[in-house]
A and B are shown apart, each in its own frame.
Chain A
Amino acid sequence: MPTLDLINLRKQFGSVTNPVVAVNDLNINVADGEFLCILGPSGCGKSTALRMVAGFEEPSGGDVQIDQQSIINMPPNKRPTAMVFQKYTLWPHMKVYDNIAFGLKLRHLPKNQIDQEVQASLELVGLGRYGDRYPAQLSGGEQQRVAIARALVLKPKILLLDEPFSNLDALLRVRLREELRQIQRNLKITAVFVTHDQEEALSLADRIAVMSKGELQQLDKPATIYARPKTLFVADFIGAMNMLDGEVNGGVVKVGNQRLPSPAECVAAPAKIAIRPEDVIVTQTGEGAWHGRITQVSDLGHYRKVFVQSPDLGMLKLYLPKSIEINDGEMITFKPTRFLIFQGPLPPFEVKL
């Protein structure tokens, strides 16, 4: 039952005088059979973290453990991990068969067993009859499937994937990631999947580790990440969010010209109020509600995306049901049903109305 633990993992590039901290004090635990996504904007240290697990990058501090055993002193070719890269990394001078068989041959398996396992892994990724082709004769999507087969055929304890589908078009990306997830579920393999695409992470992961500037922001289930972001960064980065300035004072928080209830634990100080576009209802009364002018309405299937220019809140994005009749340029009155109050670096308070 392979588990993976990153413990206070740290990586610093650059010189002593001008250090670049790519990964800072990262703690992530991956359970047996779990599919964990590392999500974050470009340059936040996702690849560096993954490469330290694979052994291509030496940590500046901390530990990496598989099944509670440190692997930090193992060279990459001895580690029980297998990686799928963002770039196409099939060896161009070898046929697909030989690409997949390479690792098996190193393990001195008998020829007929190698044949069987290569074939089985090719079937697994739906390329049963591609063994005789050279990588240059495959499409990008097919190449990445072969790369996945090449990693899976070695039955690694941990499968590492560094944005494996980001070079592919949107439709293929969605299809391949679903296929990958299915394979991972069937094989019950432990996997870490790096991506900068939140939709990808939200739809695939058992849990998501959100990173920013080398640091872990939050490690939770997708639904929790969406509903209860722990930091302002996560609130802003995941999904759409309206960020408003507020001021807490004695059980109420003043946002714009309205007062909303706030928990007693909030201190009297400025705060950031985060409201999801869908956590808003349109009302008739002016009590506790803001008003604004609709500047843009787009029809998105079962709901409408509406931009509202409010005199004291600025521009807001709302998702409203199609049952409500609204048009460009009209005035609208609305109030939140649920919001988060962020104060300093503490986790936010949730308020439901």
Chain B
Amino acid sequence: MKIDPTPAYHQPTMFGYRISTRTLRREAFGIFALVALTLIIIGPMMTVFLWAFAERWRQPALLPTEWGLSYWYETLARNDITSAMPMSLGLALTVTALSAIICLPAAYAFARINFPGRQGLLLSFLAVNAFPRFGLYVTIAVVFFRLGLVGTLPGVILIQLVNTLLTMIWIPTSAFQNIDRALEEAALDVGAGRLRVFFQITLPQVFPALAAALLLTFVSTFYEAQGALIIGIPGIRTMAVLMYSYINNQIVVQYGAVISLMLWLPSLVLLSFAQKFLRGNTVSSGFGV
């Protein structure tokens, strides 16, 4: 056997690592994409962030000229805000929980039972989201008014539930459909009852999808303002509704900025939690290996 004395490859190095030109090009594209994404997503968020801590920010200046927390004190001192935050959180939690209780069994049925009208029913959830919401809300408001639901918590819960149907039925349905029935049969076969099969075999496997659906539902309910505004006023005022009215009625930008920052908080907490949890779950269960 002959040994080739020349090294197998000559490649540029970066930070001491050998990098091929192809990797380099891919790397460059990645960095470019990252920067673009940052500008598009983080840019506006950054502006809001800066505004929330700005005492004074005149046009040509790149950054606020005076920093401070005075708008935070002022906002937090307001009664409507301190009562709207728990209201929003409670409402979003309640709606998400109710939606899960109603939709998850339904999604399982959609995935497993082929009943007549199944397709049409599934599409009808899409229909709710396919047309402008506003008209729908106004019609519902008329009905709710007669039922005495306008301005009440149950009224707002109902209207927000309607919004969650699509996410909470479609995502879990397709997740359940992806679980092979034979996996459930194998569990029945070794002696597990139907309920145990659902909770110990089926549910753990759709868990990532379910978590995503729950998260989306929670966040979108938390931010939902149209329905809450039309059905909820004057009795029910959520953070999202308040933010709209502040942005509309105040000349001072800072109030709106502070409230939006406060609105981010729950989603940021949830998202970081979800990310950690989902990653741990998928890796440990050996998906995608």
User: With A92-B287, A134-B289, A137-B286 in contact, is A102–B187 under 8 Å at CB?
Assistant: yes
Number of B interface residues at 8 Å Cβ cutoff, please give it.
21
Alpha-carbon distance A311/B286, docked complex (angstroms): 64
How would you classify the secondary structure of chain A's contact residues: helix, strand, loop or mixed?
A: mixed
* B6 interface hit (Cβ, 8 Å): no
Across the interface, which residues of B come within 8 angstroms of A55, CB to CB? 188
B69 within 8 Å of A (CB atoms): no
Q: Quick one: given A93-B204, A106-B192, are A134 and B186 in contact (CB under 8 Å)?
A: no
Please tell me which stretch of B103-111, B157-165, B177-185, B213-221 contacts chain A, meaning at least 4 of its Cβ atoms lie within 8 angstroms of it: B177-185
B191 and A93 within 8 A (CB):
no
Q: In the bound complex, what is the Cα–Cα distance between A106 and B188 (angstroms)? A: 11
Please provide the chain B residues from 175 to 207 with a CB less than 8 Å away from any CB of chain A in the complex. 180, 182-183, 185-193, 196, 200-201, 204-205
Contact B285 A134 (CB under 8 A): yes
Which residues of the other chain, B, contact A77 by a CB distance below 8 angstroms? 188-193
Which A residue's beta carbon lies closest to that of B285?
A: A93
Report if A76 contacts B (CB, 8 A).
Answer: yes
Within 8 A of B (CB), among A145-177: 147, 150-151, 154
**CB atoms of B187 and A81 under 8 A apart:** no
- The count of chain A contact residues (Cβ–Cβ below 8 Å) is 29
**CB proximity of B203 to chain A, nearest CB, Å:** 10
A89 adjacent to B201 (CB under 8 Å): no
Closest chain-A Cβ to B209's Cβ sits at a distance in Å of: 13
Assess whether B286 is in contact with A136, with CB atoms less than 8 Å apart. yes
Q: How many A-B residue pairs have CB under 8 A?
A: 73
Query: Are B191's CB and A103's CB within 8 A?
Result: yes
- In B57-74, the 8 Å CB interface with A consists of none
Q: Which of chain B's residues have a CB closer than 8 A to the CB of A107?
A: 191
Are A89 and B285 touching (Cβ within 8 A)?
no
* B201 surroundings in chain A (CB, below 8 A): 91
What residues of B have a CB within 8 angstroms of the CB of A102 in the complex?
187, 190, 192, 200
Q: Are A154 and B190 in contact (CB under 8 A)?
A: yes
Determine if B182 and A135 form an interchain contact, defined as CB atoms under 8 angstroms apart. no
A136 and chain B: residue at smallest CB distance: B286
0/1 string, A69-107, CB within 8 A of B gives 1 = 000000111100111010101111100000000110011
* Contacts A54-B185, A76-B189, A89-B185 supplied; 20 other A-B pairs, CB < 8 Å: A54-B189, A56-B188, A75-B188, A77-B190, A77-B191, A82-B189, A83-B185, A89-B182, A89-B186, A91-B205, A92-B287, A102-B187, A103-B190, A106-B190, A134-B289, A136-B287, A136-B289, A150-B190, A151-B190, A154-B190
Contacts from B to A (Cβ < 8 Å): 180, 182-183, 185-193, 196, 200-201, 204-205, 285-287, 289
> What 5 A-B pairs are tightest by C-beta distance, nearest first?
A103-B190, A134-B286, A136-B286, A89-B186, A93-B285
* A interface residues with partner B (beta carbon < 8 Å): 54-56, 75-78, 81-83, 85, 87, 89-93, 102-103, 106-107, 134-137, 147, 150-151, 154
